[in-house]
Structure 1
Amino acid sequence: MTAWYLVIALLLLLANGFFVGAEFALLASRRTKLETIAAEGSTGAVNAIKSIRELNFMLAGVQLGITMASLGLGYVGEPAVAQVIENVIEGFVKLPSGLLHGISLVVALTIVVFLHMVMGEMAPKNMAIAEPEKAAIRLSVPLRLYANIFRPFINLLNSLAIWVTSRFGVDATTERLSAHTVEEIGAMVQASAKGGAIDRFEERLLSGAVELGERDAGAAMVPRTELSALPYTATPAEIEATVVRSGHSRIPIHQEDLDNILGFFHAKDLLQVAPEDRDRPLPADLIRRMLVVPESRKLRPLLIDMRRQRIHAALVIDEHGGTAGIVTLEDLIEELVGEIRDEHDVSEMGIQRLDGGRFLVPGSLRIDEAESLLDVDLPEGEYETIAGFLMDELGRIPKRRDSVDHNSWRLRVRSMHRRRVVQILIEPLASDSPPTPSGE
């Protein structure tokens, strides 16, 4: 009889491990991965997806199975093991029956608890977490068979549990949500990058795609102060000179002032101008149309509009109807993949690497681009550029030679144009150098 009890105890131990493994497999599995496997014809994946869709019910069934297996193991296994230990001890030494029984019970309890924890709990948990989808596929068919057999009893217990939790103001969900918010996806991308699952470029690409719907045209545009615009009376020769000087292929064309922009001229259209017309006013039919959008226009719908209308530039207007800047298709792509540089662009967005670990950068350099390209750690705030960071730190419009120290770096205004910061010198601070006062 003891042998049969030991066999039953072993089966209960395996059953406990089965339910524990199934529980962690369901919780750790990614439904998207299971759906891919199910599309290939895996019955186990289909059953695993069904289980995840009614996760609350399945977990209730798993908990019932764990509880029953654990109680049964204690009820059957502990006395059976104690009997075996008694027989072994009696073969070596004669002890009073009361003492012998007590020792056997303590040793048996220790063995059963050890096996229950290691073989019935921890090992199945580790195996399921290591390969959750594979475990879910293998365990889903017998798990659903068990759940369907005991469905009425499981539903009863689950309903009682939901009623109890509702008394505490908790709304128990019946299905694990597979959707994630933008913030959650962004956090997963960062975690994947830190863990080495994706490289820096992939992180930037994924983060840019996630954040594209959150950014607006005002954040991606070339601001009004940096536009290389010409009046509509400009000649092709003047446009060519502006293209060469600015490095921009799209030149805004305005009438009277920048608040009345008619469109833009593309550098490649210079090829359509006859040599004898180079010094005559620009032909009106070469001025390309632009979309007109507010600063608050989100980039994702703006990108869709550009593709649908086949217009690769948009005029961004402020709340008063004036020109705030211009955003191009290239600007939107750069929001996804980072700065795109061609043979006409200044190397590294105008960044000059100097001796002594110093950098000379434009004031328009975005905070995240500075951190990415220069490994400069700057805090987040109500600004998007290094010039904005300096202005926030100083509490006023910067002046030439103003400086701000942050961590191990000193940021010094190198040049200004009116009230706009043109260039900033970033240099490492010597460990023993005293802070430099602002405006020295």
Structure 2
Amino acid sequence: MSDLTLDLLRLLGVVALVLANGFFVAAEFALVSVRHTRVEELIQQGNTGARAVKKALEDPDRFIAATQLGITIASLGLGWLGEPALAHQIEPVVALFPKQWVSVASHSISAAIAFAAITFLHVVVGELMPKSIALQRPETTALLVARPTLVTALLFKPAIWALNGTGNLLLRLVGMRAASGHELVHSVEELKMLVEASEESGVLEDSERKMLHAVFDFGELTAREVMVPRTEVIAVEADAPLHALIHIAIAHPHTQFPIYEGDIDHVIGLAHVKDLVRVQHDERRTATVRGLMREIMFVPDTTRLDNLLQQFRAKRQHAAVLLDEFGGTAGFVTLDNLMAKIVGEVRDPFDKSAPEIQNLPDGSVLVDGLTLIEDVNAFFGLSLHDDNYDTIAGFVLGRLGRMAKVGDTVEADGANLKVEAMDGLRIARLSLRHPKPEKNTD
């Protein structure tokens, strides 16, 4: 075989090894990045290549090991074959330079140039380009590389088994366990960042972003933060006649009412308005609320919402009485209160009460005293905080240091809060004026 033919074969070998390296790099990133749900969708559409992708995804450790083995073999082969082959081609060119420059180190100079060229080719064509292609088009790339990767995994099955086993053994020796599946696991904060990026790119609407954030934060909230507080609970006395419950149900947009004996600290059950339908008309005149009583849950007001939701599901309940640290009634919470933290409040068409936050003609905003401080902060972009109170009314009371009266004002974080209405000793409504409100409502 002539030297020219040998040199040509070496150069072709270099090209083949670079392409092989690129193939295995693309295969690794594609199999890690492709969405399982999209693969299932392609299978349902009759795409036969998707079945090979699914098979690879069912045993990711094995097939990722196959791609890494391929990358390693290609890289070693490129170093073994590429540098000498290219250096041999460069030496005649280097020999043209003045002899005093190259007489001693012509081979070293050729080898250095060849090494730099091979490294550049390896990194750009064999690593960066295939990685970018696989990340931008994971589905298309996975469909192209799945079958060849399956063949590679089959051919090198003993070697892959030995390499995986050795790696896992070494990890166990240093007190670690092998990660399985090459799955991407994100923290809640990372998921929030992904949601923000998805909204910025136009994939998600603002309402969808808010809902996803609410889901992430759901487990961190406690029942106290979503409850109807004790002073706002609409309850009925156990021995009250049924027509009293009917009047209460008509006057308030609720379907469930706690039943108590003596006072609200002694809740004994729950009345549901649909039970009234089952009672004959004549019975309503003589029967008492006690006859309709259902069981009711009792939970601490510090119960986390995710735990409370599980209890609702397990006990097939939709409401619970919240108890404070002294065993008294702190408030009342329903499944609707929990869902409102995720999807937002959906107002009942029969609910004629004013919304928590309303725009006023003078540019200020009317706020219900029971509105949570965190909701006011989110609406206005404020940073109000009080360790002792959850509501904006409590915040104002804390700042005043005394019982409030209509006309009292408080300045905080650039905002002016003014007491507009009282309900006994409770602040019912406040007006809030802020120079740069974050959002507006209709």
TM-score normalised by L of structure 2: 0.74
Give 1:307-386 correspondences, 5 Å limit: 311-346=317-352, 349-355=355-361, 357-370=363-376, 374-378=379-383, 384-386=390-392
For residues 430 and 334 of structure 1, the distance between their equivalents in structure 2, rounded to whole angstroms, comes to 27
Contact 1:204 1:338 (C-alpha < 8 Å) held by counterparts: no
Could you tell me which residue of structure 2 aligns to residue 403 of structure 1?
410
For residues 272 and 169 of structure 1, the distance between their equivalents in structure 2, rounded to whole angstroms, comes to 65
Q: 1:74 aligns with which of 62, 74, 82?
A: 82
Which has the larger displacement, 123-132 or 253-262? 253-262
Which has the larger displacement, 377-386 or 417-426? 377-386
Alignment RMSD: 4.4
1:236 is displaced (CA, Å) by 5.7
Name the aligned partner's letter for residue 133 of structure 2: M
For residues 213 and 116 of structure 1, the distance between their equivalents in structure 2, rounded to whole angstroms, comes to 48
Which has the larger displacement, 130-139 or 163-172? 163-172
1:8 is displaced (CA, Å) by 1.2
1:14 is displaced (CA, Å) by 0.5
1:75 is displaced (CA, Å) by 2.4
1:370 is displaced (CA, Å) by 3.8
Which has the larger displacement, 144-153 or 222-231? 144-153
Contact 1:362 1:424 (C-alpha < 8 Å) held by counterparts: yes
Could you tell me which residue of structure 2 aligns to residue 49 of structure 1?
57
| 3-state SS, counterpart of residue 265 of structure 2 | strand
Name the aligned partner's letter for residue 13 of structure 2: I
For residues 25 and 240 of structure 1, the distance between their equivalents in structure 2, rounded to whole angstroms, comes to 63
Which has the larger displacement, 231-240 or 338-347? 231-240
1:263 is displaced (CA, Å) by 3.7
| 3-state SS, counterpart of residue 325 of structure 1 | strand
Distance 1:143 1:390, change over 3 A: farther
Contact 2:380 2:434 (C-alpha < 8 Å) held by counterparts: no
Name the aligned partner's letter for residue 231 of structure 2: T
Distance 1:176 1:347, change over 3 A: farther
Could you tell me which residue of structure 2 aligns to residue 10 of structure 1?
15
What's the CA shift string for 1:283-321, capped at 9, x where partnerless? Answer: 336634142221255545655665676654333333443
Contact 1:56 1:174 (C-alpha < 8 Å) held by counterparts: no
Distance 1:26 1:242, change over 3 A: same
1:73 is displaced (CA, Å) by 5.7
1:133 is displaced (CA, Å) by 3.9
Could you tell me which residue of structure 2 aligns to residue 437 of structure 1?
none
Contact 2:368 2:429 (C-alpha < 8 Å) held by counterparts: yes
Contact 1:313 1:329 (C-alpha < 8 Å) held by counterparts: yes
Name structure 2 gaps, 5 residues minimum: 1-5, 438-442
For residues 154 and 266 of structure 1, the distance between their equivalents in structure 2, rounded to whole angstroms, comes to 64
Distance 1:342 1:26, change over 3 A: same
TM-score normalised by L of structure 1: 0.75
Could you tell me which residue of structure 2 aligns to residue 218 of structure 1?
224
Distance 1:145 1:419, change over 3 A: farther
Number of equivalent positions? 421
For residues 370 and 73 of structure 1, the distance between their equivalents in structure 2, rounded to whole angstroms, comes to 68
For residues 415 and 280 of structure 2, the distance between their equivalents in structure 1, rounded to whole angstroms, comes to 53
Name the aligned partner's letter for residue 432 of structure 2: I
Distance 1:397 1:329, change over 3 A: farther
What's the CA shift string for 1:141-189, capped at 9, x where partnerless? Answer: 3234334434555555666666776777655424334666666655644
